[in-house]
Structure 1
């Protein structure tokens, strides 16, 4: 009886039911769109962060670099001799630690022993500045000037010789700067190489702790036309390229990867690291682990992915802020308005059904049965609105993913933070930012769909509660009064 009457009443009031359903649908569609875009923003931000510190890293431990002491400026210094031969090519590499003050390698084990730490590995980030070119010596040339006259004895003319002048010569040098990361080859799941995969050749083996081998990034290999098996020379030492690494998400900030001991030898930094990569046992306790490390290991800076995310700027950050603040508040406002409109329309429809409900009560229907009837109709309207809202929301999310608008993300320096790559803030250097381009998508999760269904039911219940309350207050006499 309930189902038959429900179907008949909804069929009689198709336009009113459709208006209520469309109002709820628009609110639900906006909620789905905002949630899916926000999820896409989070994914894009995760891609930016993972490209810098690698998948699985929860935080890094570094130490802020102190100001140079004495007359040392900390700037690279190159000295060349101008040889007698012309076009003599000269080359020099300057290797400097990058990203922060060096830490003792023993701190890696100390960090790993802290409560809540699952694993910790050390890495050494270097910046290599290569100057390559030649001098060309100039040639001294003298010129003689003379004049005729009678001033000399016997009318002889006089002349003078000018000082010799150097003409030609000079110097032509190319300056190339690239980043090098020393990797703990015994544990490559954390550290600079964790955010890349080997697409050509092989990666390091655990036995190559001090081998003269290298893995280069895809972009650096393409720029310098390196292939697997060739030799790379750094500061007079030759390294065999065994693999080409491609970042999982975006451009990497590291050009060359070496075994940690080899990087320490290059930089004259024996038993030193610049960054300790840390993985927590529980991702929900990262802040607690951070506080523990800072308390027990003084003088260090612990940077989490959340700290690094705060430095992200550019259009990605702007869009994320809009989706988080404006978008969510707008969706809440629209949804509240849709609920209110549905409730008012339902209540208004009940007012027009005075004769109907009064007659039903006169026939013996109790108030709870009348209320159940109105609530049932409202829930059906809500579910219909939910179905339409889900369809509209999925269409909007698909459109965003299909268009894939490009967003830029600029990650500022955090004092030797997670990446430790170029722009790490060496002495006397300006703090640079890494700019990346990310394609935005709008994934729709099952949680979002469940939320939409819940909102649809909630909207129907709210509208039904108001209409049912009003219907329950009607008396059979009201039906008789409405008869003309």
Structure 2
């Protein structure tokens, strides 16, 4: 009887049911789109952060002191004078530690022993400045005497001796300056560090046995610029490295131009048993803040930076859009949803007032107030489910449209991004590097999860119940005698 009457009433009042369902559908669709776009923003931010630190890295530890460069830290280049006719090519390079601040390699073990730390690995970020070129000897050409008569002789006598007239033609210096970054990786910890944010597109990565090997993995962009490939050789400060792999950054710029084993990097920079950054993986990603506090308390003189800290330094349209989606979009969807619920309730209540004679007759025939209320609530819940189905369809269509269009957002990583102590420059590697201003383009998607759909269904049922509560309350208050005296 309940379902028969329900089906008949919904069919008889199709337009009113469609209006209620449409209002709920718009609110639910907006919630789905905003939730999906927010999830896409989160994925885009993770992609940007992945270009700044390695996969599996929850936080980094750097030296707390601000990096300062003394006059002795400035690179000095010396070239020998060539006293022969051949213009020989000269080359020299200098290897410097990024940021001029280092930690003892023993600190890596200390950090790894802290509660909540699953693993820790050190890395050394270097900057190499290479100057290569040659001096060219100029040619002196004798010129004619400047004038006749005694004027010239008088000038010569006054000056004590006569200077030859002529000029030097040609000659000079032609030098090329190459400035690139090198990262010393702990090859025994392949799952930690900035190299894990790149994919080996050619060759292979380091073996755990190559702790002191003269091998290198080169970023694909730098390899293309310098015409390097697997099997090529690369000389750094007189040490020749064999290129064993080409790495392509998964997102944005690579952490470094060249990756070499940590021991080799320490030797090149004369920084034995030193690291610039310690990459840390926590045992539980939900307890990162407590692990950070533990390290800061027990390991003095260090600064701990998490992905949340680094995310605050990302600006640009991605950051703006993320804020809008998280703040304006969230409150807008809530406001629209509340408005949809209120409209659905008012429309249902209004429909009850137009059915006073009908409900009065049903009560006169023996229907209890609870049965009348259940009938009204049942109709409202069906309208809510219909609105939910329509809203889910509209929300999925909106999310698909955003993913299909894939609008490009920009994430700007300025010099202020070095919140972890500033170890490193562009390609310095890790949370702690102070990156030069650069912009990453990230395509926005709107993934829809099963949880989002489940929430939409729950909202649809809640909307129907709220609307039914309004109408059921009105219907339960009707008295048969009063209802039968009213005319529709």
Q: In which range does the TM-score fall when normalised by the shorter chain? A: over 0.9
Q: 1:430 to 1:238 in 2, by over 3 A?
A: same
Q: Tell me which moved more, 338-347 or 96-105.
A: 96-105
- 2:280 aligned counterpart, secondary structure: strand
The two structures have a TM-score, normalised by structure 2, of 0.92
Question: Compared with structure 1, are the counterparts of its residues 171 and 7 closer, same or farther at alpha carbon in structure 2 (3 Å cutoff)?
Answer: same
> Secondary structure of 2:228's partner?
coil
Q: 1:328 aligns with which of 327, 330, 349?
A: 330
Q: Report what 1:128 is aligned to.
A: 128
Could you tell me how far 1:248 is from its partner in structure 2?
2.9
Quick one: which of 466, 477, 484 aligns to 2:481?
477
SS at match of 1:393: helix
- Asked if residue 466 in structure 1 is aligned to residue 470 in structure 2, the reply is yes
Give the Å deviation of 1:94. 1.4
Q: Aligned ranges for residues 20-169 of structure 1 at < 5 Å?
A: 20-66=20-66, 68=68, 72=71, 74-84=73-83, 85=85, 87-99=87-99, 101-148=101-148, 163-169=165-171
Q: Return the offset for 1:433.
A: 2.9
Task: Provide the C-alpha distance between the structure 1 equivalents of 2:130 and 2:64, rounded to a whole number of angstroms.
Answer: 26
- Describe how 1:71-470 pairs up with structure 2 within 5 A: 72=71, 74-84=73-83, 85=85, 87-99=87-99, 101-148=101-148, 163-412=165-414, 413-416=417-420, 420=424, 422=426, 432-470=436-474
Cα gap change, 1:170 to 1:377, in 2 (>3 Å): same
Aligned to 2:158: none
**For 1:249, what is the secondary structure of its paired residue?**
coil
Give the drift of 1:169. 2.0
Report the CA distance shift for 1:229/1:149 in structure 2 as closer, same or farther (over 3 A): closer
Does the CA-based 8 Å contact 1:60-1:417 persist in structure 2?
Answer: no
Give, in whole Å, the separation in 2 of the partners of 1:150 and 1:121: 83
**How far apart in 1 are the matches of 2:151 and 2:194?**
84
Change in 2 beyond 3 A, CA 1:17/1:66: closer
CA positional deviation for 1:139: 2.4
User: Post-superposition shift, 1:247?
Assistant: 2.4
State the Cα deviation string for residues 402-452 of structure 1 (Å, max 9, x = none). 111111112232245699451759xxx986234211111110001111111
Aligned match of 1:10: 10
- Shift of residue 2 of structure 1? 0.6
Query: Could you say which residue in structure 1 is the equivalent of 2:157?
Result: none
Separation of aligned partners in 1, 2:273 and 2:22: 68
Task: Tell me the TM-score normalized by structure 1.
Answer: 0.93
Q: Deviations over 1:369-395 (max 9, x none)?
A: 111111111111111111111111111
Task: Tell me if the contact between 2:341 and 2:467 (Cα under 8 Å) persists in the aligned partners.
Answer: yes
Separation in structure 1 between the aligned mates of residue 108 and residue 402 of structure 2, nearest angstrom: 44
Deviation at 1:128, TM superposition (A): 1.0
Structure 1 unaligned regions, length at least 5? 153-159
Deviations 1:77-131 (A, max 9, x none): 3222343446432222111111461110001110000000000010111111112
Structure 2 counterpart SS, 1:20: helix
The question of whether the paired residues in 2 share the 8 Å contact of 1:99 and 1:416 is answered with no
* Contact 2:104 2:274 survives alignment (8 Å): yes
Contact 2:91–2:133 (8 Å) recurs in 1: yes
Q: What CA deviation, in whole Å up to 9, does each residue of 1:158-199 have, x standing for no partner?
A: xx8655433322222222211111111111101122222222
**CA-CA distance at 1:454 after TM superposition:** 0.9
Find the aligned partners of 1:150 and 1:99 in 2 and give their Cα distance: 66
* Cα drift, residue 73 of structure 1: 6.3
Query: For residues 236 and 324 of structure 2, what CA distance do their matches in structure 1 show?
Result: 47
Cα deviation, residue 305, structure 1: 0.5
Change in 2 beyond 3 A, CA 1:147/1:231: closer
User: What's the CA shift string for 1:317-348, capped at 9, x where partnerless?
Assistant: 11111111111111111111111111111111
Q: Single out whichever of 246-255 and 2-11 deviates more from structure 2.
A: 246-255
Question: 1:236-256 CA distances to partner (integer Å, 9 max, x unpaired)?
Answer: 110011111122333312111
Secondary structure of 1:52's match? coil
